[in-house]
């Protein structure tokens, strides 16, 4: 079920309400043992008018005292918040006293002995990490989540620096590089929001949505649900009028033929992907690709000799092929194991999903054992 925060954001987005994102960078927490971490840059991006502003230590001449430069960036940031006091604010994990709006206020009090001009109301704050996690599960992408989610969605993080690298740049006095990085992240937060409300956000669990019966439904969930229901389809196929011939499901190719037919109900363009992987013993295998979603589908049927390690090794080969060809951003592997040959299927699913997912290509593994 969709969270209330996501519903509120969808409504605000649809109505054209002003939404801004806020992100910032600071000195290393390890270097700030006896004081709140110094702030290098706070960036704000505006969804409504497309503008971006970076309030940075780099804005004043290099011969200006650091504390004076920091006070100036704070004053301009809080003035900006006052001007946009009714805006919804989207952020990434800015919830704590060590990193968040309260941490900014603590630092401001420390260097100025004054209270901030404006503190955003709690009901206007939206943590995008939490909201995506509620929609797609806590492990919606591998860590670091922000970077990998942005990369998976091709958001172009050209000036991106990790938090650790930003802290190192602070120590080196390279405040311009920090400002570029933080500004890039503020824009990327809004890009993630746009994809989320449009239903096109790719995660480790989702490749976007498909239109069906007048609704947008999650594409990966469609594949997994079809896999879960396939055994019932098999049973119904055997009950033809007058005992007429039907499709008998006996090997991997039968699963592929049946699934291709069912997938066509939900997706306009499902393409066969015939190839001969090194583990196939010379036999060509057909998988599927949905180009519009950059979504690859791999169908496997367990065999007596298959172990969890075998399955993992095969999955890595398939993953690396799609990654090298750059035609898919998400690979779904459907494994049919009705005989229960794979021991501990839920653990295998979790382990293979985690270990096979790589930068730029999410992997979802589902084993159907009943």
Among 63-67, 138-142, 164-168, the range scoring the smallest mean pLDDT is: 138-142
Domain map (residue ranges) of the chain: 4-198, 209-368
pLDDT tens string 2-19: 689 999 999 999 999 999
Pairing relation of β-strands 52-56 and 88-91? unpaired
Q: Contact, 99 vs 164, CB < 8 A?
A: no
Q: Do domains 4-198 and 209-368 have the same CATH topology?
A: no
pLDDT tens string 185-209: 999 999 999 999 988 888 888 888 8
pLDDT tens string 271-308: 998 888 988 877 788 789 999 999 999 999 998 889 99
The interaxial angle of helices 252-263 and 219-237, nearest 10 deg, is: 120
Q: Contact, 99 vs 28, CB < 8 A?
A: no
Look at residue 329 and give its three-state secondary structure: coil
- CATH for 209-368? 3.40.91
pLDDT tens string 220-263: 999 999 999 998 888 888 787 777 777 777 778 888 889 999 99
* Rounded-to-integer distance, Cα 106 and Cα 102, Å: 6
pLDDT tens string 161-170: 999 999 999 9
C-alpha distances in Å from residue 267, one per residue of 60, 202, 262, 361:
55, 17, 9, 21
Give the residue among 196, 166, 195 at the shortest CA–CA distance from 42.
166
* Helix extents (H) in 238-295: 252-263
Q: Is 178 exposed, middle or buried (0-12, 13-18, 19+ CB in 10 A)?
A: buried
Give the residue among 315, 310, 322 at the shortest CA–CA distance from 356.
315
pLDDT score for 235: 84
Decide yes or no: CATH 3.30.420.10 for domain 4-198. yes
* Rounded-to-integer distance, Cα 89 and Cα 97, Å: 18
pLDDT score for 1: 56
């Amino acid at each position: 079920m969709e969270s209330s925060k996501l519903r509120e954001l969808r409504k605000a987005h649809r109505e054209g309400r002003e939404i801004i994102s806020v992100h910032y960078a600071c000195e290393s927490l390890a270097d700030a043992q006896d004081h709140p971490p110094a702030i290098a840059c706070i960036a704000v991006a505006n969804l409504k008018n497309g503008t971006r502003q970076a309030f940075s230590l780099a804005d004043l001449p290099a011969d200006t005292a650091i504390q004076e430069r920091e006070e100036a960036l704070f004053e301009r940031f809080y003035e900006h918040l006052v001007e946009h006091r009714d805006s919804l604010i989207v952020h990434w994990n800015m919830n704590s006293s060590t990193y968040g709006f309260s941490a900014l206020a603590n630092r401001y009090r420390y260097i100025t002995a004054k209270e901030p001009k404006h503190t955003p109301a709690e009901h206007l704050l939206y943590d995008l990490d939490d909201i995506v996690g509620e929609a797609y599960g806590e492990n919606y992408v591998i860590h670091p989540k922000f970077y990998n989610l942005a990369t998976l969605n091709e958001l172009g993080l050209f000036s991106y620096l990790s938090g650790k690298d930003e802290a190192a740049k602070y120590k080196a006095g390279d405040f311009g590089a920090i400002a570029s990085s933080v500004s890039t992240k503020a824009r990327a937060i809004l890009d993630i929001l746009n994809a989320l409300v449009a239903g096109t956000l790719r995660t480790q669990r989702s490749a976007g949505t498909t239109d069906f019966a007048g609704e947008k439904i999650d594409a990966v969930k469609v594949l997994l649900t079809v896999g879960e229901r396939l055994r019932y389809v098999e049973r119904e196929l055997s009950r033809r009028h007058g005992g007429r011939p039907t499709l008998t499901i006996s090997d991997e190719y039968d699963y592929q033929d049946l699934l291709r037919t069912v997938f066509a109900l939900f997706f306009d363009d499902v393409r066969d992907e015939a190839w001969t992987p090194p583990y196939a013993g010379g036999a060509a295998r057909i998988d599927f690709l949905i180009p519009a979603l950059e979504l690859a589908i791999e169908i496997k049927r367990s065999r007596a000799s298959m172990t969890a390690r075998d399955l993992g090794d095969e999955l890595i080969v398939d993953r690396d092929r799609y990654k090298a060809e750059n035609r898919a951003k998400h690979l779904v592997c459907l494994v049919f194991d009705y005989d229960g040959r794979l021991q501990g299927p839920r653990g295998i699913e979790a382990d293979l999903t985690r270990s096979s997912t790589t930068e730029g290509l999410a992997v979802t593994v589902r084993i159907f054992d009943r």
